[in-house]
Chain A
Amino acid sequence: MKYIFSLEFIYLVASITYILGLKMLGKPGTARKGNLIAAAGMTLAIFGTIFLYQGKVPTYIYVLIGTAIVIGSIIGWMIAKKVAMTKMPELVSLFNGMGGASAALIGLIEFEHYTGKMLSTTTIVAGIIIGSVSFSGSMIAWAKLNGTLKNPIRLPKYNLINNLVIIGLIVFAGFMTWSGTSSQVYLYLLFFAALAYGIMLVIPIGGADMPVVISLLNSFTGLAAALGGFLYGNMVMLTGGILVGSAGTILTFAMCDAMNRSLVSVIFGSFGQGSSEGSDGLTSETMTGSIKKTTVSDVAILMNYSQRIIIVPGYGLAVAQAQHAIHELEQLLVSKGIDVKYAIHPVAGRMPGHMNVLLAETNVDYDKLAEMEDVNPEFKNTDVVFVVGANDVVNPAAHTNPSSPIFGMPILEVENAKNIIVNKRSMNPGYAGIENELFYNQRTSMLFGDAKAVIQSLIAELKGM
Protein backbone atom coordinates (compact mmCIF):
# COMPACT_ATOMS: atom_id res chain seq x y z
CA MET A 1 0.00 0.00 0.00
CA LYS A 2 2.85 2.30 0.84
CA TYR A 3 4.16 1.78 -2.68
CA ILE A 4 1.15 3.60 -4.14
CA PHE A 5 2.46 6.81 -2.67
CA SER A 6 6.04 6.30 -3.69
CA LEU A 7 7.75 8.45 -6.27
CA GLU A 8 8.50 5.44 -8.48
CA PHE A 9 4.82 4.70 -8.75
CA ILE A 10 3.97 8.30 -9.57
CA TYR A 11 6.63 8.33 -12.28
CA LEU A 12 5.20 5.13 -13.70
CA VAL A 13 1.73 6.67 -13.87
CA ALA A 14 3.15 9.83 -15.45
CA SER A 15 5.04 7.83 -18.07
CA ILE A 16 1.84 6.01 -19.00
CA THR A 17 -0.03 9.30 -19.36
CA TYR A 18 2.63 10.55 -21.80
CA ILE A 19 2.30 7.49 -24.01
CA LEU A 20 -1.49 7.54 -23.80
CA GLY A 21 -1.60 11.29 -24.32
CA LEU A 22 0.58 11.22 -27.41
CA LYS A 23 -1.43 8.33 -28.81
CA MET A 24 -4.70 10.18 -28.29
CA LEU A 25 -3.24 13.35 -29.79
CA GLY A 26 -3.06 11.44 -33.05
CA LYS A 27 -6.84 11.22 -33.51
CA PRO A 28 -9.08 14.25 -33.99
CA GLY A 29 -11.75 12.94 -31.64
CA THR A 30 -9.52 12.22 -28.67
CA ALA A 31 -6.75 14.75 -29.19
CA ARG A 32 -7.85 17.29 -26.65
CA LYS A 33 -8.40 14.74 -23.93
CA GLY A 34 -5.01 13.24 -24.69
CA ASN A 35 -3.31 16.56 -24.15
CA LEU A 36 -5.08 17.03 -20.82
CA ILE A 37 -4.14 13.53 -19.67
CA ALA A 38 -0.47 14.15 -20.41
CA ALA A 39 -0.72 17.52 -18.62
CA ALA A 40 -2.23 15.83 -15.56
CA GLY A 41 0.57 13.26 -15.55
CA MET A 42 3.14 16.03 -15.75
CA THR A 43 1.58 17.91 -12.84
CA LEU A 44 1.58 14.73 -10.77
CA ALA A 45 5.24 14.07 -11.55
CA ILE A 46 6.26 17.65 -10.68
CA PHE A 47 4.47 17.71 -7.33
CA GLY A 48 5.63 14.18 -6.54
CA THR A 49 9.24 15.20 -7.15
CA ILE A 50 8.95 18.18 -4.83
CA PHE A 51 7.01 16.66 -1.97
CA LEU A 52 8.37 13.13 -1.91
CA TYR A 53 12.03 14.16 -2.10
CA GLN A 54 14.18 12.16 0.31
CA GLY A 55 16.72 14.37 1.98
CA LYS A 56 17.03 17.51 4.02
CA VAL A 57 16.28 20.63 2.07
CA PRO A 58 16.32 24.15 3.53
CA THR A 59 12.92 25.84 3.40
CA TYR A 60 14.13 28.70 1.24
CA ILE A 61 14.93 26.22 -1.55
CA TYR A 62 11.27 25.21 -1.56
CA VAL A 63 10.34 28.89 -1.71
CA LEU A 64 12.73 29.30 -4.64
CA ILE A 65 11.20 26.35 -6.52
CA GLY A 66 7.67 27.50 -5.75
CA THR A 67 8.40 31.03 -6.94
CA ALA A 68 9.96 29.81 -10.17
CA ILE A 69 7.00 27.54 -10.88
CA VAL A 70 4.42 30.22 -10.11
CA ILE A 71 6.16 32.88 -12.21
CA GLY A 72 6.75 30.42 -15.05
CA SER A 73 3.14 29.24 -14.96
CA ILE A 74 1.70 32.75 -15.06
CA ILE A 75 3.95 33.91 -17.90
CA GLY A 76 3.55 30.68 -19.86
CA TRP A 77 -0.21 30.71 -19.43
CA MET A 78 -0.53 34.32 -20.48
CA ILE A 79 1.66 34.02 -23.55
CA ALA A 80 -0.10 30.84 -24.62
CA LYS A 81 -3.57 32.34 -24.16
CA LYS A 82 -2.87 35.71 -25.71
CA VAL A 83 -0.95 34.94 -28.85
CA ALA A 84 -2.92 34.92 -32.09
CA MET A 85 -3.45 31.57 -33.76
CA THR A 86 -1.41 32.70 -36.74
CA LYS A 87 1.61 32.99 -34.42
CA MET A 88 1.32 29.42 -33.19
CA PRO A 89 4.41 27.97 -34.92
CA GLU A 90 6.81 30.50 -33.49
CA LEU A 91 5.31 29.99 -30.06
CA VAL A 92 6.00 26.26 -30.17
CA SER A 93 9.54 27.15 -31.15
CA LEU A 94 9.85 29.56 -28.24
CA PHE A 95 8.64 27.05 -25.65
CA ASN A 96 10.87 24.40 -27.15
CA GLY A 97 13.85 26.71 -26.69
CA MET A 98 12.96 27.18 -23.02
CA GLY A 99 13.08 23.42 -22.48
CA GLY A 100 16.43 23.18 -24.22
CA ALA A 101 17.85 25.99 -22.10
CA SER A 102 16.59 24.30 -18.96
CA ALA A 103 18.36 21.06 -19.93
CA ALA A 104 21.60 22.93 -20.66
CA LEU A 105 21.49 24.76 -17.31
CA ILE A 106 21.04 21.48 -15.44
CA GLY A 107 24.21 20.24 -17.09
CA LEU A 108 26.10 23.42 -16.20
CA ILE A 109 25.25 23.04 -12.52
CA GLU A 110 25.77 19.29 -12.25
CA PHE A 111 29.10 19.19 -14.06
CA GLU A 112 31.22 19.80 -10.96
CA HIS A 113 29.42 17.12 -8.96
CA TYR A 114 30.43 14.35 -11.31
CA THR A 115 34.10 15.21 -11.93
CA GLY A 116 36.09 12.13 -12.80
CA LYS A 117 33.08 9.96 -13.56
CA MET A 118 33.48 9.47 -17.24
CA LEU A 119 30.05 8.26 -18.26
CA SER A 120 28.14 10.75 -16.13
CA THR A 121 30.30 13.51 -17.55
CA THR A 122 29.57 12.26 -21.06
CA THR A 123 25.86 12.46 -20.33
CA ILE A 124 26.27 15.95 -18.93
CA VAL A 125 28.33 17.42 -21.76
CA ALA A 126 26.03 15.79 -24.34
CA GLY A 127 23.06 17.33 -22.54
CA ILE A 128 24.71 20.74 -22.54
CA ILE A 129 25.52 20.59 -26.25
CA ILE A 130 22.10 19.32 -27.34
CA GLY A 131 20.17 21.58 -24.97
CA SER A 132 22.12 24.70 -25.99
CA VAL A 133 21.82 23.98 -29.70
CA SER A 134 18.11 23.43 -29.24
CA PHE A 135 17.79 26.70 -27.33
CA SER A 136 19.72 29.02 -29.62
CA GLY A 137 18.41 27.27 -32.73
CA SER A 138 14.82 27.64 -31.53
CA MET A 139 15.35 31.31 -30.82
CA ILE A 140 16.59 31.86 -34.37
CA ALA A 141 13.64 29.86 -35.73
CA TRP A 142 11.34 31.98 -33.61
CA ALA A 143 12.87 35.22 -34.89
CA LYS A 144 12.63 33.98 -38.47
CA LEU A 145 8.99 32.99 -38.19
CA ASN A 146 7.86 36.23 -36.63
CA GLY A 147 9.72 38.18 -39.27
CA THR A 148 12.47 39.75 -37.15
CA LEU A 149 15.01 37.83 -39.18
CA LYS A 150 13.89 37.87 -42.76
CA ASN A 151 16.51 36.45 -45.05
CA PRO A 152 18.69 33.44 -44.62
CA ILE A 153 22.18 34.60 -43.74
CA ARG A 154 24.81 32.48 -45.37
CA LEU A 155 28.49 32.79 -44.75
CA PRO A 156 30.61 31.59 -47.63
CA LYS A 157 31.15 27.86 -47.24
CA TYR A 158 28.79 27.80 -44.28
CA ASN A 159 28.28 24.05 -44.53
CA LEU A 160 31.97 23.43 -44.22
CA ILE A 161 32.29 25.89 -41.34
CA ASN A 162 29.30 24.39 -39.52
CA ASN A 163 30.61 20.88 -39.91
CA LEU A 164 34.01 21.92 -38.62
CA VAL A 165 32.39 23.62 -35.64
CA ILE A 166 30.31 20.59 -34.68
CA ILE A 167 33.28 18.27 -35.08
CA GLY A 168 35.33 20.66 -32.97
CA LEU A 169 32.58 20.70 -30.35
CA ILE A 170 32.43 16.92 -30.17
CA VAL A 171 36.22 16.59 -29.99
CA PHE A 172 36.37 19.21 -27.26
CA ALA A 173 33.56 17.50 -25.34
CA GLY A 174 35.39 14.20 -25.75
CA PHE A 175 38.55 15.78 -24.38
CA MET A 176 36.66 17.17 -21.38
CA THR A 177 35.22 13.75 -20.58
CA TRP A 178 38.40 11.83 -21.16
CA SER A 179 40.66 14.18 -19.21
CA GLY A 180 38.23 14.27 -16.28
CA THR A 181 38.70 18.03 -16.04
CA SER A 182 36.81 20.06 -13.49
CA SER A 183 37.53 23.35 -15.25
CA GLN A 184 34.55 25.69 -15.24
CA VAL A 185 36.25 27.71 -18.00
CA TYR A 186 36.13 24.71 -20.33
CA LEU A 187 32.57 24.06 -19.29
CA TYR A 188 31.35 27.54 -20.20
CA LEU A 189 33.46 27.54 -23.33
CA LEU A 190 31.61 24.41 -24.40
CA PHE A 191 28.27 25.98 -23.49
CA PHE A 192 28.84 29.16 -25.51
CA ALA A 193 30.32 27.28 -28.45
CA ALA A 194 27.21 25.07 -28.53
CA LEU A 195 24.98 28.15 -28.42
CA ALA A 196 26.92 29.61 -31.33
CA TYR A 197 26.58 26.38 -33.26
CA GLY A 198 22.79 26.41 -32.79
CA ILE A 199 22.67 29.88 -34.33
CA MET A 200 24.94 28.93 -37.20
CA LEU A 201 22.93 25.80 -37.88
CA VAL A 202 19.56 27.51 -38.25
CA ILE A 203 20.45 30.92 -39.62
CA PRO A 204 21.19 29.79 -43.20
CA ILE A 205 17.92 27.85 -43.44
CA GLY A 206 15.04 29.56 -45.23
CA GLY A 207 11.78 30.43 -43.51
CA ALA A 208 9.78 27.88 -45.48
CA ASP A 209 11.73 25.07 -43.91
CA MET A 210 11.35 26.33 -40.34
CA PRO A 211 8.60 23.85 -39.37
CA VAL A 212 10.97 21.00 -40.11
CA VAL A 213 13.70 22.70 -38.12
CA ILE A 214 11.41 23.25 -35.14
CA SER A 215 10.29 19.66 -35.22
CA LEU A 216 13.91 18.54 -35.32
CA LEU A 217 14.91 20.81 -32.43
CA ASN A 218 11.85 19.52 -30.60
CA SER A 219 13.23 16.00 -30.71
CA PHE A 220 16.65 17.38 -29.69
CA THR A 221 15.15 18.80 -26.52
CA GLY A 222 13.49 15.45 -25.89
CA LEU A 223 16.89 13.83 -26.15
CA ALA A 224 18.41 16.38 -23.79
CA ALA A 225 15.68 15.65 -21.23
CA ALA A 226 16.32 11.93 -21.60
CA LEU A 227 20.05 12.46 -20.95
CA GLY A 228 19.07 14.18 -17.72
CA GLY A 229 16.99 11.13 -16.90
CA PHE A 230 19.99 8.91 -17.49
CA LEU A 231 22.14 11.05 -15.23
CA TYR A 232 19.73 10.89 -12.30
CA GLY A 233 18.35 7.44 -13.03
CA ASN A 234 15.04 9.26 -13.24
CA MET A 235 12.53 7.14 -15.10
CA VAL A 236 9.96 9.78 -15.95
CA MET A 237 12.53 12.05 -17.57
CA LEU A 238 13.89 9.10 -19.46
CA THR A 239 10.54 7.89 -20.79
CA GLY A 240 9.20 11.34 -21.58
CA GLY A 241 12.43 12.47 -23.22
CA ILE A 242 13.00 9.39 -25.36
CA LEU A 243 9.35 9.30 -26.35
CA VAL A 244 9.48 12.86 -27.63
CA GLY A 245 12.89 12.30 -29.16
CA SER A 246 11.69 9.35 -31.19
CA ALA A 247 8.19 10.64 -31.97
CA GLY A 248 9.67 14.01 -32.90
CA THR A 249 12.13 12.43 -35.29
CA ILE A 250 9.36 10.53 -37.07
CA LEU A 251 7.27 13.69 -37.20
CA THR A 252 10.22 15.54 -38.72
CA PHE A 253 10.46 12.97 -41.49
CA ALA A 254 6.70 13.08 -42.03
CA MET A 255 6.90 16.85 -42.50
CA CYS A 256 9.81 16.52 -44.91
CA ASP A 257 7.74 13.98 -46.82
CA ALA A 258 4.79 16.34 -47.06
CA MET A 259 7.07 18.92 -48.65
CA ASN A 260 9.02 16.37 -50.66
CA ARG A 261 12.28 17.52 -49.13
CA SER A 262 14.93 15.43 -47.59
CA LEU A 263 16.15 16.34 -44.15
CA VAL A 264 19.67 16.61 -45.51
CA SER A 265 18.65 19.21 -48.07
CA VAL A 266 16.82 21.20 -45.39
CA ILE A 267 19.84 21.29 -43.09
CA PHE A 268 22.49 21.67 -45.74
CA GLY A 269 20.40 24.09 -47.72
CA SER A 270 20.30 23.01 -51.34
CA PHE A 271 17.06 24.94 -51.47
CA GLY A 272 18.20 28.52 -51.59
CA GLN A 273 21.00 27.83 -54.03
CA GLY A 274 18.77 25.80 -56.31
CA SER A 275 16.17 28.51 -56.60
CA SER A 276 18.45 31.47 -57.02
CA GLU A 277 20.85 29.97 -59.53
CA GLY A 278 19.25 26.95 -61.13
CA SER A 279 15.79 28.04 -62.07
CA ASP A 280 15.99 31.78 -62.53
CA GLY A 281 17.01 31.61 -66.15
CA LEU A 282 14.25 29.19 -66.93
CA THR A 283 11.51 30.96 -65.07
CA SER A 284 12.16 34.35 -66.56
CA GLU A 285 11.80 32.78 -69.99
CA THR A 286 8.56 30.97 -69.32
CA MET A 287 7.07 33.69 -67.18
CA THR A 288 6.75 36.25 -69.94
CA GLY A 289 3.10 35.51 -70.68
CA SER A 290 0.51 38.05 -69.66
CA ILE A 291 -1.71 37.86 -66.65
CA LYS A 292 -5.43 38.48 -66.65
CA LYS A 293 -6.91 40.77 -64.04
CA THR A 294 -10.47 40.53 -62.91
CA THR A 295 -12.81 42.51 -60.67
CA VAL A 296 -14.82 41.69 -57.61
CA SER A 297 -18.17 41.93 -59.41
CA ASP A 298 -17.02 39.61 -62.20
CA VAL A 299 -15.91 37.05 -59.66
CA ALA A 300 -19.17 37.43 -57.74
CA ILE A 301 -21.19 36.73 -60.89
CA LEU A 302 -19.00 33.77 -61.75
CA MET A 303 -19.43 32.31 -58.28
CA ASN A 304 -23.15 32.96 -58.23
CA TYR A 305 -23.67 30.77 -61.28
CA SER A 306 -21.30 28.01 -60.23
CA GLN A 307 -22.21 24.64 -58.85
CA ARG A 308 -18.98 23.64 -57.25
CA ILE A 309 -16.44 25.94 -55.69
CA ILE A 310 -13.24 24.97 -53.95
CA ILE A 311 -11.45 27.46 -51.75
CA VAL A 312 -7.69 27.11 -51.40
CA PRO A 313 -6.59 29.04 -48.34
CA GLY A 314 -2.95 29.92 -47.74
CA TYR A 315 -0.96 31.81 -45.20
CA GLY A 316 -1.87 35.09 -46.89
CA LEU A 317 -5.42 34.52 -45.71
CA ALA A 318 -4.24 34.23 -42.15
CA VAL A 319 -2.00 37.27 -42.38
CA ALA A 320 -4.95 39.35 -43.60
CA GLN A 321 -7.01 37.94 -40.70
CA ALA A 322 -9.59 36.89 -43.28
CA GLN A 323 -10.53 33.50 -41.79
CA HIS A 324 -13.85 34.82 -40.55
CA ALA A 325 -14.62 36.57 -43.82
CA ILE A 326 -13.93 33.44 -45.85
CA HIS A 327 -16.18 31.43 -43.57
CA GLU A 328 -18.95 33.96 -44.10
CA LEU A 329 -18.44 33.79 -47.86
CA GLU A 330 -18.59 30.01 -47.71
CA GLN A 331 -21.85 30.06 -45.75
CA LEU A 332 -23.37 32.56 -48.17
CA LEU A 333 -22.43 30.42 -51.16
CA VAL A 334 -23.78 27.29 -49.48
CA SER A 335 -27.06 29.10 -48.80
CA LYS A 336 -27.29 29.67 -52.55
CA GLY A 337 -27.11 25.92 -53.06
CA ILE A 338 -23.48 25.85 -54.17
CA ASP A 339 -21.22 23.04 -53.10
CA VAL A 340 -18.26 24.62 -51.31
CA LYS A 341 -15.16 22.95 -49.95
CA TYR A 342 -11.77 23.95 -48.65
CA ALA A 343 -8.75 22.23 -50.13
CA ILE A 344 -6.04 22.06 -47.52
CA HIS A 345 -2.49 21.41 -48.54
CA PRO A 346 -0.60 19.52 -45.82
CA VAL A 347 1.82 22.39 -45.36
CA ALA A 348 -0.60 25.26 -45.94
CA GLY A 349 0.17 28.00 -43.49
CA ARG A 350 3.46 27.79 -41.73
CA MET A 351 3.26 24.26 -40.40
CA PRO A 352 1.53 21.03 -41.31
CA GLY A 353 -2.02 21.31 -40.05
CA HIS A 354 -1.69 25.00 -39.30
CA MET A 355 -4.44 26.00 -41.75
CA ASN A 356 -6.85 23.50 -40.23
CA VAL A 357 -6.27 25.06 -36.85
CA LEU A 358 -6.90 28.53 -38.23
CA LEU A 359 -10.11 27.57 -40.01
CA ALA A 360 -11.35 25.50 -37.11
CA GLU A 361 -10.98 28.63 -34.99
CA THR A 362 -13.68 30.28 -37.08
CA ASN A 363 -16.00 27.27 -36.74
CA VAL A 364 -15.62 26.03 -40.27
CA ASP A 365 -17.20 22.60 -40.42
CA TYR A 366 -14.54 19.93 -40.09
CA ASP A 367 -16.14 17.95 -42.95
CA LYS A 368 -15.64 20.86 -45.34
CA LEU A 369 -11.87 20.65 -45.03
CA ALA A 370 -10.65 18.30 -47.72
CA GLU A 371 -7.14 16.87 -47.72
CA MET A 372 -4.97 17.06 -50.78
CA GLU A 373 -5.18 13.45 -51.95
CA ASP A 374 -8.97 13.46 -51.72
CA VAL A 375 -9.56 16.76 -53.40
CA ASN A 376 -7.08 16.62 -56.29
CA PRO A 377 -9.27 14.40 -58.55
CA GLU A 378 -12.18 16.77 -57.96
CA PHE A 379 -10.65 19.89 -59.45
CA LYS A 380 -11.55 19.03 -63.03
CA ASN A 381 -15.25 18.99 -62.12
CA THR A 382 -14.98 22.25 -60.25
CA ASP A 383 -16.34 25.48 -61.67
CA VAL A 384 -14.32 27.91 -59.65
CA VAL A 385 -11.21 27.50 -57.57
CA PHE A 386 -10.66 30.47 -55.31
CA VAL A 387 -7.03 30.67 -54.23
CA VAL A 388 -6.63 33.03 -51.30
CA GLY A 389 -3.14 33.89 -50.21
CA ALA A 390 -1.67 30.57 -51.29
CA ASN A 391 1.13 30.35 -53.81
CA ASP A 392 3.77 27.64 -53.68
CA VAL A 393 1.28 24.88 -52.84
CA VAL A 394 -0.59 25.50 -56.11
CA ASN A 395 2.48 26.03 -58.30
CA PRO A 396 2.32 23.61 -61.25
CA ALA A 397 6.09 23.95 -61.61
CA ALA A 398 6.24 21.24 -58.97
CA HIS A 399 4.99 18.87 -61.67
CA THR A 400 6.31 20.38 -64.87
CA ASN A 401 9.64 22.06 -64.22
CA PRO A 402 12.41 19.70 -63.14
CA SER A 403 14.76 22.58 -62.42
CA SER A 404 12.34 24.20 -60.00
CA PRO A 405 13.38 23.91 -56.37
CA ILE A 406 9.92 22.67 -55.47
CA PHE A 407 9.89 20.07 -58.25
CA GLY A 408 8.33 16.88 -56.94
CA MET A 409 6.49 18.54 -54.09
CA PRO A 410 2.89 17.34 -53.99
CA ILE A 411 0.61 20.24 -54.89
CA LEU A 412 -3.07 21.01 -55.16
CA GLU A 413 -3.79 20.58 -58.86
CA VAL A 414 -5.97 23.65 -59.19
CA GLU A 415 -4.85 24.18 -62.79
CA ASN A 416 -7.38 21.48 -63.79
CA ALA A 417 -10.38 23.54 -62.70
CA LYS A 418 -12.61 25.40 -65.16
CA ASN A 419 -11.91 28.82 -63.65
CA ILE A 420 -9.14 29.78 -61.31
CA ILE A 421 -9.40 32.98 -59.31
CA VAL A 422 -6.23 33.94 -57.48
CA ASN A 423 -6.38 36.56 -54.79
CA LYS A 424 -3.00 38.05 -53.94
CA ARG A 425 -1.84 41.39 -52.75
CA SER A 426 0.65 41.76 -55.58
CA MET A 427 2.68 39.72 -58.00
CA ASN A 428 5.38 39.07 -55.42
CA PRO A 429 6.55 35.49 -55.40
CA GLY A 430 5.58 33.28 -52.49
CA TYR A 431 7.42 32.15 -49.40
CA ALA A 432 9.79 29.95 -51.33
CA GLY A 433 10.62 32.89 -53.60
CA ILE A 434 9.65 31.15 -56.83
CA GLU A 435 7.58 32.45 -59.74
CA ASN A 436 4.25 30.75 -60.27
CA GLU A 437 3.21 29.91 -63.81
CA LEU A 438 -0.33 29.28 -62.64
CA PHE A 439 -0.87 33.05 -62.72
CA TYR A 440 -0.15 33.06 -66.46
CA ASN A 441 -2.58 30.23 -67.15
CA GLN A 442 -5.37 30.95 -69.67
CA ARG A 443 -8.05 30.06 -67.15
CA THR A 444 -6.55 32.04 -64.31
CA SER A 445 -7.78 35.48 -63.37
CA MET A 446 -5.98 37.55 -60.80
CA LEU A 447 -7.97 39.42 -58.20
CA PHE A 448 -5.49 41.74 -56.54
CA GLY A 449 -6.08 43.24 -53.14
CA ASP A 450 -6.04 42.55 -49.43
CA ALA A 451 -7.72 39.19 -48.81
CA LYS A 452 -10.08 40.45 -46.15
CA ALA A 453 -11.24 43.52 -48.09
CA VAL A 454 -11.67 41.52 -51.29
CA ILE A 455 -13.68 38.77 -49.61
CA GLN A 456 -15.87 41.29 -47.83
CA SER A 457 -16.72 43.11 -51.05
CA LEU A 458 -17.38 39.72 -52.67
CA ILE A 459 -19.86 38.99 -49.89
CA ALA A 460 -21.53 42.36 -50.40
CA GLU A 461 -21.83 41.78 -54.15
CA LEU A 462 -23.16 38.25 -53.73
CA LYS A 463 -25.74 39.37 -51.20
CA GLY A 464 -27.14 41.79 -53.75
CA MET A 465 -27.70 39.06 -56.33
Chain B
Amino acid sequence: MTELIDFISNNIQMIYIVVLMIFVGVEIIGHVPAVLHTPLMSGANAIHGVVIIGAILVLLGVNPDNYLGQSLGFVAVLLGTLNVVGGFVVTDRMLEMFKKKK
Protein backbone atom coordinates (compact mmCIF):
# COMPACT_ATOMS: atom_id res chain seq x y z
CA MET B 1 0.00 0.00 0.00
CA THR B 2 2.73 2.46 0.96
CA GLU B 3 4.50 1.52 -2.24
CA LEU B 4 1.42 2.46 -4.22
CA ILE B 5 1.10 5.81 -2.50
CA ASP B 6 4.80 6.44 -3.06
CA PHE B 7 4.32 5.54 -6.68
CA ILE B 8 1.48 7.98 -7.09
CA SER B 9 3.30 10.85 -5.42
CA ASN B 10 6.49 10.16 -7.35
CA ASN B 11 4.73 10.01 -10.67
CA ILE B 12 2.00 12.55 -10.16
CA GLN B 13 2.88 14.41 -13.35
CA MET B 14 2.56 11.32 -15.46
CA ILE B 15 -0.72 10.43 -13.82
CA TYR B 16 -2.04 13.89 -14.66
CA ILE B 17 -1.03 13.38 -18.26
CA VAL B 18 -2.72 9.99 -18.43
CA VAL B 19 -5.98 11.37 -17.06
CA LEU B 20 -5.99 14.44 -19.29
CA MET B 21 -4.99 12.51 -22.40
CA ILE B 22 -7.86 10.07 -21.89
CA PHE B 23 -10.27 12.99 -22.02
CA VAL B 24 -8.54 14.57 -24.99
CA GLY B 25 -8.76 11.29 -26.90
CA VAL B 26 -12.46 10.93 -26.13
CA GLU B 27 -13.19 14.54 -27.12
CA ILE B 28 -11.29 14.29 -30.39
CA ILE B 29 -13.11 11.23 -31.64
CA GLY B 30 -16.54 12.23 -30.35
CA HIS B 31 -17.93 13.95 -33.42
CA VAL B 32 -16.23 12.35 -36.37
CA PRO B 33 -18.35 11.36 -39.40
CA ALA B 34 -18.38 7.64 -40.16
CA VAL B 35 -16.77 8.43 -43.51
CA LEU B 36 -13.51 9.17 -41.77
CA HIS B 37 -13.46 6.24 -39.37
CA THR B 38 -11.10 4.17 -41.46
CA PRO B 39 -8.50 6.89 -42.06
CA LEU B 40 -8.78 7.94 -38.44
CA MET B 41 -8.17 4.45 -37.20
CA SER B 42 -5.25 4.17 -39.58
CA GLY B 43 -3.83 7.50 -38.40
CA ALA B 44 -4.18 6.50 -34.75
CA ASN B 45 -2.52 3.22 -35.67
CA ALA B 46 0.48 5.15 -37.00
CA ILE B 47 0.66 7.30 -33.88
CA HIS B 48 0.98 4.36 -31.51
CA GLY B 49 4.06 3.55 -33.53
CA VAL B 50 5.59 5.96 -31.00
CA VAL B 51 6.50 2.71 -29.28
CA ILE B 52 9.56 2.87 -31.55
CA ILE B 53 10.98 5.50 -29.19
CA GLY B 54 11.03 2.86 -26.48
CA ALA B 55 12.67 0.38 -28.83
CA ILE B 56 15.37 2.91 -29.68
CA LEU B 57 15.95 3.64 -26.00
CA VAL B 58 16.35 -0.09 -25.35
CA LEU B 59 19.01 -0.40 -28.01
CA LEU B 60 20.81 2.73 -26.85
CA GLY B 61 20.97 1.43 -23.31
CA VAL B 62 21.58 -2.26 -23.90
CA ASN B 63 24.76 -3.90 -22.59
CA PRO B 64 27.43 -4.39 -25.25
CA ASP B 65 27.68 -8.09 -24.38
CA ASN B 66 23.94 -8.71 -24.37
CA TYR B 67 23.59 -10.11 -27.87
CA LEU B 68 20.06 -11.43 -27.35
CA GLY B 69 19.00 -7.98 -26.17
CA GLN B 70 20.63 -6.35 -29.17
CA SER B 71 18.96 -8.69 -31.64
CA LEU B 72 15.54 -8.33 -30.04
CA GLY B 73 16.03 -4.56 -29.86
CA PHE B 74 16.95 -4.49 -33.53
CA VAL B 75 13.76 -6.38 -34.40
CA ALA B 76 11.75 -4.07 -32.13
CA VAL B 77 13.06 -0.95 -33.89
CA LEU B 78 12.42 -2.56 -37.27
CA LEU B 79 8.84 -3.49 -36.40
CA GLY B 80 8.23 -0.09 -34.83
CA THR B 81 9.44 1.62 -38.01
CA LEU B 82 7.10 -0.55 -40.07
CA ASN B 83 4.25 0.57 -37.84
CA VAL B 84 5.16 4.26 -38.13
CA VAL B 85 6.11 4.52 -41.78
CA GLY B 86 3.53 2.06 -43.09
CA GLY B 87 0.83 3.60 -40.93
CA PHE B 88 1.38 7.19 -42.01
CA VAL B 89 1.89 6.36 -45.69
CA VAL B 90 -1.25 4.24 -45.86
CA THR B 91 -3.29 6.94 -44.13
CA ASP B 92 -1.96 9.52 -46.55
CA ARG B 93 -2.86 7.31 -49.48
CA MET B 94 -6.41 6.94 -48.22
CA LEU B 95 -6.80 10.66 -47.65
CA GLU B 96 -5.27 11.62 -50.93
CA MET B 97 -8.48 10.34 -52.48
CA PHE B 98 -10.70 12.59 -50.46
CA LYS B 99 -9.67 15.62 -52.48
CA LYS B 100 -12.69 17.53 -53.58
CA LYS B 101 -13.15 17.66 -57.31
CA LYS B 102 -13.28 21.11 -58.77
Contacts and interface: CB of A to CB of B under 8 A. Distances in A.
Asked if A and B are interacting partners, one says yes
Interface of A: 14, 18-19, 21-23, 25-28, 31-32, 34-36, 38-39, 42, 45-46, 49-50, 53, 55, 57-58, 61, 64-65, 67-69, 71-73, 75-77, 79-81, 83, 85, 88-89, 91-92, 94-96, 98-99, 101-103, 105-106, 108-110, 118-119, 214-215, 218, 221-222, 224-226, 228-251, 254-255, 258, 344, 346, 351-354, 356-357, 360-361, 363, 365-366, 369, 371
A19 B90 contact: no
Contacts of B17: 235, 238-239, 242
A146 B65 CA distance: 42
Contacts of A221: 45, 48, 51
Interface of B: 3, 7, 11, 14, 17-18, 21-26, 28-62, 64, 69-70, 72-101
B37 A352 contact: yes
A242 B31 CA distance: 19
A55 to B, nearest CB: 7
**Majority-rule SS of A interface residues:** helix
Contacts, number: 357
Closest 10 pairs (CB-CB, A-B): A72-B81, A246-B25, A76-B86, A240-B50, A76-B85, A352-B37, A360-B97, A80-B89, A228-B54, A99-B83
A58 B76 CA distance: 19
A260 to B, nearest CB: 13
A250 B29 contact: yes
B53 A237 contact: yes
Contacts of A105: 55, 72-73, 75-76, 79
Contact of A92 (B26, B41, B51): B41
Given A102-B55, A119-B3, A38 B47 contact: yes
B90 A88 contact: yes
Nearest to A91: B90
B53 A46 contact: yes
Given A28-B98, A99-B49, 10 more contacts: A25-B36, A25-B39, A31-B36, A68-B78, A69-B81, A75-B82, A76-B86, A76-B87, A96-B45, A229-B54
